[in-house]
Amino acid sequence: MESTRQIKLVMKRVRNNKMGDFKVIPFEEKHIDMVIDFEKELRKQEPDTYFWEPDEEYKKAVVSSFSDPRFNTAISFIAVRKDKVIGRIDSTLIASRNDGACCSAYLDWICVLKNERHNKVAQALMKTLREDLKSKNVSQLIALMASNGEAQRFYNSVEDAAIHDQGIWMNI
C-alpha cells in the first residue's frame, strides 16, 4: 500500500517536472538499454573522463540490481528527451543506528550529456530527487563533489545547500 502511494507521488512529481522538451522519470529496468546508450554517448562526448566501457558485464550488473535486495534503498531518475536519456541521478538512503533513523541520503552520481549542459537538466534531476527524498522523510542529502570546474559551478548553484567538511575515500 505504501509503495503504491509513493509511486503515485513520484508520478505526480514527474508530471510536474517536465521542463522544456525533456522529462524526469524514475529509472526502471525497462530503461536499461536507453541508459547504456547514454553511457556510451557520455564516453564519445568526454573520452578523457570515463575510463570503463558499458559492456555486457555492466549491463548484466545493472539488470541484476533491480532484483538484488542490496539495492532496495537505491533511488535513480533519468532525464529523457524523445526516448533518449540525456541525464541521470543516482542516490541511496543511509540507514544508521547512530540515531535510529533514515533521515539522510547519499548522492552517488549526477551526470548530464555535455551537449545538454546548461539547459536546466541537472537542476530538474536534483529537484526531482530532493522532492522524492522529502516524501520519504529524508532531511539531508550528502554528496562528494567532483573537482572539475563545471561540477563545482553546479554544486555551488544548488539551492539550500552548504559546502563543508571534506570527503575521504577508503579502500576496503
Position 98 scores a pLDDT of 79
Q: How many Cα neighbours within 13 Å face the side chain of 125? A: 30
**Rounded to the nearest 10 degrees, what angle do helices 2-16 and 121-135 cross at?**
150
Determine the pLDDT at residue 100.
Answer: 74
Cβ pair 140, 104 in contact under 8 A:
yes
> Does residue 74 have a pLDDT over 80?
yes
Range in 16-25, 106-115, 128-137 with the lowest mean pLDDT: 16-25
Domain boundaries defined on the chain: 2-156
Model confidence over 149-164: pLDDT tens digits? 776 777 777 787 777 6
Cα maximum dimension of the chain: 46
Percentage of the chain surpassing pLDDT 90? 58
**What's the CATH number of domain 2-156, 3.90.1150.10, 3.40.50.2300, 2.20.25.90, 3.40.630.30?**
3.40.630.30
Average pLDDT for the chain: 84
pLDDT at 96: 80
On the question of pLDDT at 166 being above 70, the answer is no
Give the pLDDT band (50/70/90) at residue 5: low
Going by pLDDT thresholds of 50, 70 and 90, the confidence category of residue 99 is confident
123: its cell numbers: 537542476
pTM of the model: 0.79
Distance CA 12, CA 60 (A): 31
The pLDDT tens digits for 15-65 are: 444 457 999 999 999 999 999 999 999 999 999 888 889 999 999 999 999
Cα dist. 15→20, 29, 63 in Å?
12, 20, 26
Are residues 92 and 104 in contact, defined by beta-carbon separation less than 8 angstroms?
no
What does the buried/exposed string (b/e) look like for 106-130 if buried means 16 or more CB atoms within 10 Å of the residue's CB? ebeebbbbeebbebebbebbbbbbb
